[in-house]
Amino acid sequence: MRARAKKDLGDISGSVEDWSRAVALQPKSPWLHYNLAGIKSDYGDKPGAINAYREAIFLLESIKTQHGDQWEAQCSYGSRGCLELLGDALYFRAKNLGIVGDSKAAMADFSQVIYIAPNEGMRGSAYVGRAEIHFRLGNINAARADCRQSVNLVPNELLSKSRSVLLNMQSSATTNCAF
């Protein structure tokens, strides 16, 4: 796809334009909105990314409502199904919401990922995201609890991220957790 090639070549604004055109041609495609959101986030347009993730999530939830238990059969995006795409869209929207300072909405999205995620890695990453927000808000005990949850789910993948959060909590109450 041309939009991906443009991104790979460093033409981020051209990639945004191509994804935007694709969305205009197929506005009911959650996958296209998801990809537009990702490139907007990479480009630094966090509010635009949040809106595109919101539309992808809305479309995926509409598919789920319309097709019930059979919704996974209604969409396939490469090796990814609707549930995985929904989890990723919620996770990345939460990351962007955290960046723009909407901690409450970010926390709600991370919590939803923990609830619906089809795999432990995704749930573990959402716990780390929640831990970071708890830490920024000064909720140290809640941050520690979420770090421990992430390590319990996926010890090898998330141990270093959770240790980073925990070490920052121990060294300074004002240190920002960035990972």
Question: Which pLDDT tens digit goes with each residue over 100-118?
Answer: 999 999 999 999 999 998 7
CB within 8 A of 22, min separation 6: which ones?
3, 29, 32, 35, 36
Position 8 scores a pLDDT of: 58
CA distance 91 to 30: 15
Mean pLDDT of 50-56: 97
CA distance 144 to 141: 5
Out of 9-18, 33-42, 51-60, 154-163, pick the least confident: 154-163
